[in-house]
Amino acid sequence: MAMKIRLARGGSKKRPFYRIVASDSRMPRDGRYIEKLGTYNPLLAKDSEERVQMDAERVQYWLDQGAQPTDRVSRFLEAAGMIAKKERSNPKKAVPGKKAQDRAEERAAKAAAAAEAAAAPAEEAASEE
């Protein structure tokens, strides 16, 4: 059975609250789970101690049993010092989209044309002297 340590959403509309759970990977996100390991409340301040609470002993047990944490849960575990920090590399994340690149090229072309137009009268005035 493929085990996951993941978030199960609770709370009302626009007021999310998550349980950190150990579940079978084939079960739905908010469906059946084997054990509740903690909670995550994204509405609290990032430095609040109550934002992420988990039973470290049980989480370590499930990791030892081969459960794979999801990306968000692994970030919580890294912050708690329970697992080693992973190297994440997404070089395309900072690259603007196609339309934004086209707009930037147009702006650069207009700026270059304006600079040439401004430089031309200055050159004529210098040649007359």
Residues 83-99 have pLDDT tens digits of 888 887 777 777 888 99
What ranges do the domains of the chain cover? 3-80, 89-129
As a whole number of angstroms, the distance between CA 128 and CA 67 comes to 80
Superfamily of domain 3-80: Ribosomal protein S16 (3.30.1320.10)
Nearest to 53 by CA among 61, 63, 66, 44: 44
Single pTM value for the model: 0.67
As a whole number of angstroms, the distance between CA 54 and CA 56 comes to 6
Using the structure block, give the residue that is written with the tokens 């700026």.
Answer: 111
Nearest to 9 by CA among 1, 24, 19, 23: 19
Confidence of residue 129 (pLDDT cuts 50, 70, 90): low
Look at residue 10 and tell me whether its pLDDT is greater than 80. yes
Q: What is the mean pLDDT of the chain?
A: 88
Residues 38-80 have pLDDT tens digits of 999 999 998 988 999 999 999 999 999 999 999 999 999 999 8
Q: How, if at all, do strands 35-40 and 15-24 pair? A: antiparallel
